[in-house]
Structure 1
Amino acid sequence: MVIEYVGQNIRQVIADMREKRYEEEGIGSSYMFRVDHDTIIDATKCGNFARFINHSCNPNCYAKIITVESQKKIVIYSRQAINVNEEITYDYKFPIEDVKIPCLCGAENCRGTLN
């Protein structure tokens, strides 16, 4: 285990409203991670360092949803030993959409987009 992705648990309707509000406030990025169909963790304003972990098409970590005392949590686990000063990355696995988000991970096997 590397770190838990923490923030506020919110519903989709709230996530949509917050995303719009964050754009209006000039917040460049929102840090929302879907747990399941009903729940999203919003780490934009009250998260930890996990929200800053970058995507890679060849990651050294992976995200896993676990249940602790009937509450779902997102935990980042390592796939391999991680050296000091090595960047921690995981595959965001964004859903496929018409508007593509370019991937800049630089991996040999880079897919070219995050979605």
Structure 2
Amino acid sequence: MPTPRKPRIVVKNSRIHGRGVYAARRLEAGKNIIEYKGERIAWKEADRRPPSDPDDPFHTFFFSLDDQKTVIDASVGGNASRWINHSCDPNCETEETDDGRVFIQALRDIRSGEELNYDYSLTIEERLTATLKKNYECRCGAKTCRGTMLGLNKRQLKAQPKR
């Protein structure tokens, strides 16, 4: 009987935010690590849903697809991928396939025990304010941290205070 392979990832507490996903063994650059799973819904439905955590209404498990109409809600039928945190200096990225599946892929070789993260680059339709930046505050600790999980345009990046 073959020996079972060690799992690729493990979920545990994170210094960045609550829970996080960690490499349980070395992960190779360019390889898919996990698929972002959950219920597929329209944005209208996503906007109607209560927050995953009522104490933190800006924290959701929504992943917007490229069509800008569909959202994966990982709080319903999701997997460990929903616990992957944001970083301004990520070791992973998301890759959407032609059929709308989303995979978390390693940008570089990742050591065993290293936390997985990708740049959320969240988009909002509202004007960027200090309150919004605070609501989407980044705690990644990277030297290149922009202070927010929001995807900022070039003008907004220039206006950012130096860290």
TM-score range, shorter chain: 0.7 to 0.9
Partners of 1:11 and 1:81 lie apart in 2 by 35
Matching residue within 17, 22, 38 for 2:51: 22
Unaligned runs of 5+ in 1: none
2:40 is aligned with what amino acid? N
Stretches of 4+ moved more than 6 A in 1?
none
User: In the alignment, which of 69, 72, 86 is matched to residue 41 of structure 1?
Assistant: 72
Q: Counterpart of 2:10?
A: none
Q: Distance in 1 between matches of 2:61 and 2:46?
A: 10
Q: Paired residues, what number? A: 109
Please give the per-residue CA displacement for 1:13-40, whole angstroms capped at 9, x wherever unaligned.
110111xx236x8374420000131100
5+ residue gaps in structure 2?
Answer: 1-31, 151-163
Q: Distance between the aligned counterparts of 1:27 and 1:6, measured in 2?
A: 24
Any idea what SS the aligned residue of 2:51 has? helix
1:75-106 alpha-carbon deviations (Å, 9 max, x no partner)? 11001111111000100011155211111000
SS in 2 for 1:110: coil
* Structure 1 residue matching 2:44: 3-state secondary structure: helix
- Alignment partner of 1:10 is 2:41: yes
1:17 is aligned with what amino acid? Answer: R
Q: 1:1-115 maps to which residues of 2 (within 5 A)? A: 1-18=32-49, 21-22=50-51, 26=54, 28=56, 29-35=59-65, 36-67=67-98, 71-95=99-123, 97-98=127-128, 99-100=132-133, 101-115=136-150
Two-structure CA RMSD over aligned residues (Å): 1.7
Give the TM-score, by structure 1 length.
0.86
| Whole-Å separation in 1 of the counterparts to 2:111 and 2:45 | 38
Between the two proteins, what is the percent identity of the paired residues?
A: 39
